[in-house]
Amino acid sequence: MAIPRIELPGLAVVGGGPAGLMAAEVARAAGVEVDLFEAKGSVGRKFLIAGKGGLNLTHSEPRPAFDARYRERAADVAHWLDDFDADALRDWARGLGVETFVGTSGRVFPTDLKAAPLLRGWVRRLRESGVRFHVQHRWTGWRDDGALQFQTPQGDVEVHAPATVFTLGGGSWPELGSDGAWVSPFVDSGVDVAPLRPSNCGFDVAWTPHFAERFAGAPIKPVVAHWTAADGRAQSRQGECVVSRAGIEGSLVYAISADLREAIARDGDAVLVLDLAPGRDEAALRDALARPRKGRSVGEHLRRQAGLQGVKAGLLHEVLGVPLPDDPARLAATIKRLPLRLQSPRPIEEAISSAGGVRPDALDDGLMLRRRPGSFVAGEMLDWEAPTGGYLLTACFASGLRAGRAAVAWLAADASRNGGPGR
């Protein structure tokens, strides 16, 4: 049986996350016919889950410090942000009736903290503008003639479009659609793709069974983390993290996960050093621990003199053994610089986001694939990463806008070359 073939008049957007929806909005506003294809039964699923505890839409950090959050890709992402930065994103949300506020950490949230009203209003506006949505259409690759092939509940479908914007996500949260399955057809087509790797992720630590059983889920706070950045510079950051059965996770670990992941890739493991008593001088701590215990256990002495108990005391046992040494200098030194050996990042399926993707050299300035004219890429499919805090979403929106605008310009130029209307 022949596979049904659909001829589209304008732009196909493949992927219904923020980057895809933004590309569709930009193109439709320019008068281009837009068909959006989504593998799941509805669009924006990862966006909704990300906002479950409060949608962190963007961040108020000024540029160029904002740009620097994108690490090695700061210069590339800065070009996208020139067109659509954090302030533009807040104005855009206001246009959907969603006001925002800056939290104490500088993060920007909708006033109601919810993702669903914003997404519903956005999709409604797109539908009203004429964007056609096709859900349960999973892209599986290109046909020999360049047509897009989709799996649907009714069977395979071929779609031919004059231009396509791909926004299929990275490799994290595959149950929501970002499963990285696009990598194989892209690589087979000759596109240079950096391997997908976990980002904003936890790490494995070889806890003893007793520690893992007793303290899994326990927050470690406050602590100061010390580590070595990719450029060899010593770094430190205060925050909090969480013990998991497998290792360690939480906001502090996520914020430095890229450096830790790269150290493991380079050296086989990474050492994360934790200061369990921020604000306490090591010498003063040593003197306090040297005071007579008066029959108290070492653990009780730690609690009274150093303020350490629970999971922090457990971490000392993990490093120094049981029983703890009755050595004030050694105890103080370990409290201030407790080493944790990280064995590996947690699997990409568990990560908040992913690094890797289509490399910049494979794209022109409008995010069009050099090997496939008329095919554009945006969002987490691109080779960049950023910490949580609104930076991820902002770059997805901004890259979607850039790809959408470039697709509109390409369609117009193509129509002019071929003597057609282009829209």
Measure CA of the first residue to CA of the last residue in the chain; give whole Å: 33
Mean per-residue pLDDT, 287-312: 90
Q: Identify whether residues 384 and 310 lie together within a single domain.
A: no
pLDDT digits (tens, 9 = 90+) for 23-51: 999 999 999 999 999 999 999 999 999 88
- Please say if the pLDDT value at position 165 is more than 50: yes
Rounded Cα–Cα distance for residues 162 and 372 (Å): 12
Rounded Cα–Cα distance for residues 163 and 376 (Å): 8
Which residue(s) pair with 376 in the sheet?
165, 368
Q: Identify whether residues 135 and 259 lie together within a single domain.
A: no
What pLDDT sits at residue 363?
98
Rounded Cα–Cα distance for residues 224 and 222 (Å): 7
Q: Are the C-beta atoms of 20 and 379 separated by less than 8 Å?
A: yes
Q: Which two tokens stand for residue 89?
A: 């994103």
Q: Are the C-beta atoms of 403 and 385 separated by less than 8 Å?
A: no
Domain boundary residue among 303, 326, 345?
345
- Please say if the pLDDT value at position 90 is more than 60: yes
Q: Identify whether residues 179 and 222 lie together within a single domain.
A: no
Rounded Cα–Cα distance for residues 276 and 257 (Å): 19
Q: Is residue 46 assigned to a domain?
A: yes
Which residue(s) pair with 157 in the sheet?
150
What pLDDT sits at residue 36?
98
Rounded Cα–Cα distance for residues 411 and 416 (Å): 8
- Write down the mean pLDDT value for the chain: 95
Model confidence band, residue 415 (pLDDT cutoffs 50, 70, 90): confident
CB atoms within 10 A of CB 412: 16
Strand-pair category, 234-243 with 338-342: unpaired
Q: Are the C-beta atoms of 136 and 156 separated by less than 8 Å?
A: no
Q: Identify whether residues 399 and 325 lie together within a single domain.
A: no
Provide φ and ψ at 38, rounded to 5°. Answer: -130, 135
Q: Identify whether residues 108 and 208 lie together within a single domain.
A: no
For residue 142, give the nearest of 184, 81, 109, 172 by alpha carbon: 184
Mean per-residue pLDDT, 182-188: 98
- Which of helix, strand or coil describes residue 148? strand
pLDDT digits (tens, 9 = 90+) for 254-297: 999 999 999 999 999 999 999 999 989 999 999 999 999 888 88
- Please say if the pLDDT value at position 422 is more than 50: no
Residue 336 CA to chain centroid, in angstroms?
31
What pLDDT sits at residue 420?
54
Q: Is residue 76 assigned to a domain?
A: yes
What pLDDT sits at residue 27?
98
Q: Identify whether residues 63 and 155 lie together within a single domain.
A: yes
Instruction: Count how many Cα atoms sit within 13 Å of the Cα of residue 351 in the half-sphere of its side chain.
Output: 33
Q: Identify whether residues 154 and 187 lie together within a single domain.
A: yes
Domain that holds residue 60: 5-199+354-418
- Please say if the pLDDT value at position 343 is more than 80: yes
Q: Are the C-beta atoms of 25 and 378 separated by less than 8 Å?
A: no
Q: Is residue 312 assigned to a domain?
A: yes
Q: Is residue 423 assigned to a domain?
A: no
What pLDDT sits at residue 1?
64
Q: Identify whether residues 236 and 184 lie together within a single domain.
A: no
Domain boundary residue among 311, 345, 379?
345
Q: Omega into 323 within 30° of 0, i.e. cis?
A: yes
Q: Is residue 158 assigned to a domain?
A: yes
Domain boundary residue among 345, 367, 394?
345
CATH code at 60? 3.50.50.60
CB atoms within 10 A of CB 29: 13
Q: Omega into 18 within 30° of 0, i.e. cis?
A: no
Q: What is the DSSP string of 212-277?
A: HHHHTT-EEEEEEEEEE-TTS-EEEEEEEEEE-SSEEESHHHHHTHHHHHHHHHHHSSEEEEEESS
Mean per-residue pLDDT, 58-64: 97
Mean per-residue pLDDT, 304-308: 92
Q: Is residue 315 assigned to a domain?
A: yes
Q: Is residue 293 assigned to a domain?
A: yes
Q: Identify whether residues 33 and 163 lie together within a single domain.
A: yes
Q: Are the C-beta atoms of 347 and 354 separated by less than 8 Å?
A: no
Q: Are the C-beta atoms of 243 and 203 separated by less than 8 Å?
A: no
- Please say if the pLDDT value at position 423 is more than 80: no
Rounded Cα–Cα distance for residues 314 and 299 (Å): 10
Q: What percent of the chain has pLDDT over 70?
A: 99
State how many domains the chain has. 2
pTM: 0.93
Q: Identify whether residues 93 and 213 lie together within a single domain.
A: no
Q: Identify whether residues 43 and 159 lie together within a single domain.
A: yes
Q: Is residue 291 assigned to a domain?
A: yes
The arrangement of strands across the sheet holding 107-110 comes to 58-59, 107-110, 100-102
Q: Identify whether residues 122 and 186 lie together within a single domain.
A: yes
